[in-house]
Structure 1
Amino acid sequence: MTTPLIAVAHGSRDPRSARVVAAAVSALRARRPDLDVRLCFLDLNAPTVDQALDAVVAEGHSSAVVVPMLLSSAFHARTDLPAVLDVVRLRHPHLQIQQADVLGQDPRLIDAVRERIAETYGGAENPGLGVILAAVGTSDPAANDRIRLLAESVVAGTPWSGGISCFATSTEPSVRQAISTVRGAGADRIVIAPWFLAPGLLTDRLSHIAEKCGPGITYAATIGSHPLLIDVMLDLYSLALAALTTHHELSA
């Protein structure tokens, strides 16, 4: 039996989110039909993480690799998901579970965001374009600082006029503040690029605020089932599987 890849998404009350995440997982299955890939959610959608792992055990598997479909190594990745996995380990002590790293700041996802921006404008040659990378925002200042650096990475090597971040929650800068800053720096057009896998209530909030900030602002698509996302997930699975195998050999 191959070790299943358990893709763990955040979950949302917005049905679009689950549909887009499911499409990404379907694309992963199409890329690797030999791999047992299962989707589950941390909250608000089913199946839950423990339900997915219970099913793995019921089908006779002795190991699983959990790949968080999360873009930030914040509370959900560092605390919430590990706590769920610890409970599952207590219930199934013979099941080996390896949590992979988050999608995080893989350069390929920056490339995916650039492509979403280029798709919005029909190409990348827009020297007057200001880019705002919109993320959730967390209580972890270091995680927010990484998003700010990512915004600079998005525009690096492009003709675009500049890039900054904004946050959908109470973290500053807000989308209004970011729009004001980018306009003040001379951008004649602005694109808001979501650092989100899928649309949902937060991306809607950002776009609705942006609509009230005047003309010349567009909203790029989320990362969605971009082929580079699939590449990253498969690589994270492979790294975690290698770590799981090494640990098993050392403890044998």
Structure 2
Amino acid sequence: MTPTTAPPLVIAGHGTRDAAGVAECHALVARVRGLLPGVRVEAGFVELTPPTIDQALSSVLDGDGAGAVVVPLMIGSGGHVREDIPAAIEAGRRDHRGATVVYTRHLGAPAGLVAAARQRIDSARGDWAAHEVSVVFVGRGCSVTDANADHTRLGRVLLETGGYASLLPAFIQVAGPSVAEALDTAHATGSRRIVVMPHYLFPGRLSTWVQQAVDAWTAIHPDTSVRVAGVIGACPELADVVAQRYREGMLTARTDLGSPAYLTGLLLAGRKVVAIGGGCVNRRRIPKLLAAGAHVTVVAPDLHPALAQLVDDGVIEWHNRGYLASDLDGAWYVLAATDDPELNAQVAAAAEARHTFCVRADRAELGSAWTPATAELEGATIAVLADHDPRRSRALRDRMLQFVRDDA
């Protein structure tokens, strides 16, 4: 069954007995609804807060049985993401076996949430200079090593972008070091100004435990000032990430085909194509566009040597500067392939406003077109799109080529 309207969204949270935490979660749901007009948005919870995830999912499928998207409201990929939420999804769709329920990836650490964490840290340090501050960055902690490693990696990103004297990852349960152990390490290295960042979405038991640990430690270390940052909360950055996870999932939920992209062949001969970025991605793609007869313009302050040679040969046009929105005027097709995700997003948005198809090299699901894995064989072109996973597309293309060759 193929839905003709946008599938509903179920935001799968953890749940808490803390009234403030419940209120913050519902505030986030309201903010996400504002970002997704026309989409039914509901919340379900693993435990403690009603309704459960399976109840919320069953409810939206009763209203629109064609499909739904479930976004785990989880920073890390621990047991809830890997086991509890998938089990709840199966329970929720038990009476709707014909429905397409797409379970998206967890929140992770996209740029918006990294910025939000830095804002909380910097707000807590106040008048303290960043280079004088040590940060104790507290995660949940779980038995899944990869999830704990992701927390530690994010701490390194915050350290290098925030300019702090040091940053020590810690965990409130299961894994170590504990909050007290991280504070001890910071103290032993001479830090007397410390910000503790509880990296949780909403207030609740975990943030309370962090505050209790800090209070106990500071009581026996009067020579050190410790400030506790706020949790992420129902901020615009978090709502944006949830909405984006939904949009990723919607690509799959709205179709029962192998790929959500509609395959067609673009006849670009004599038509303007604009490539933003002069690196390796466009080096690979531009020759194929030229072979199709496109008139290619590259906008980039620097060029890969192979592209520079094409400029010298008079084959492509080059604007030796940064991107301007007017660069897309008159374009039939656009490639956004820079090293800057924000710039790629600007290019994709400008192309969208012009009703021009755009491929984003960094985030395929955020563009309006995808580049297939292709091969030429006996006067035909084989093209494969496997969702938006280029490695799987290439692997399937290679298998098809081998099959045809073996059959020859």
Specify the TM-score bucket, using the shorter chain as the normaliser.
Answer: over 0.9
Q: Distance in 2 between matches of 1:30 and 1:90?
A: 30
In the other structure, the counterpart of 1:152 is: 156
TM-score, normalization by structure 2:
0.58
Computed over aligned residues only, the root mean square deviation of the Cα atoms, in angstroms, reads 1.9
* Bigger radius of gyration among the two: 2
Equivalent residue, structure 1, for 2:373: none
Percent identity over the alignment is 29
Partner of 1:116: 120
Cα distance in 1 for partners of 2:251, 2:142 equals 31
* 2:93 maps to 1:84: no
Structure 1 residue aligned with 2:227 = 218
Higher relative contact order (CA 8 A, sep 6+): 1
Worse-matched range after superposition: 75-84 or 103-112: 103-112
Counterparts of 2:121 and 2:141, CA distance in 1: 21
Tell which deviates more after alignment, 111-120 or 24-33.
24-33
Inter-CA distance 123–150: structure 2 relative to 1 (3 Å threshold): farther
Gaps in structure 2 of 5+ consecutive residues? 219-223, 260-408
Quote the offset at 1:162 in angstroms: 1.0
User: How far apart, CA to CA, are the structure 1 residues paired with 2:254 and 2:127?
Assistant: 44
From 174, 180, 183, give the equivalent of 1:179: 183
Contact 1:28–1:230 at 8 Å: present in 2 too? Answer: yes
Aligned residues: 251
Report what 1:250 is aligned to: 258
Give how far 1:121 is off: 2.9
For 1:92 and 1:85, locate their aligned partners in 2 and report how far apart those are by CA, in whole Å: 11
CA–CA separation in structure 2 for the residues paired with 1:101 and 1:75: 13
Q: Deviations over 1:32-77 (max 9, x none)?
A: 3332211111111111112112211222341100001011111111
Distance change in 2, residues 1:191/1:250 (3 Å): same
Match of 2:342 in 1: none
Q: 1:125–1:159: 8 Å Cα contact kept in structure 2?
A: no
> Is this contact kept in 2: 1:3–1:61, CA < 8 A?
no
Deviation at 1:99, TM superposition (A): 0.4
Please give the TM-score of this superposition, normalised by the length of structure 1: 0.93
Distance 1:124 1:28 in 2: 34
Q: CA deviation at 1:123?
A: 6.6
In structure 1, which of residues 197, 202, 205 is the aligned counterpart of residue 206 of structure 2?
Answer: 202
The Cα of 1:124 is off from its aligned counterpart by 8.0
Check 1:124–1:94 CA distance in 2 against 1; reply closer, same or farther (3 A cut): farther
Change (3 A) 1:64 1:209: same
In structure 2, relative to structure 1, the CA distance for the partners of 1:38 and 1:95 (3 Å cut) is same
Match of 1:31 among 30, 35, 52: 35
Q: Which residue of 2 aligns with 1:241?
A: 250
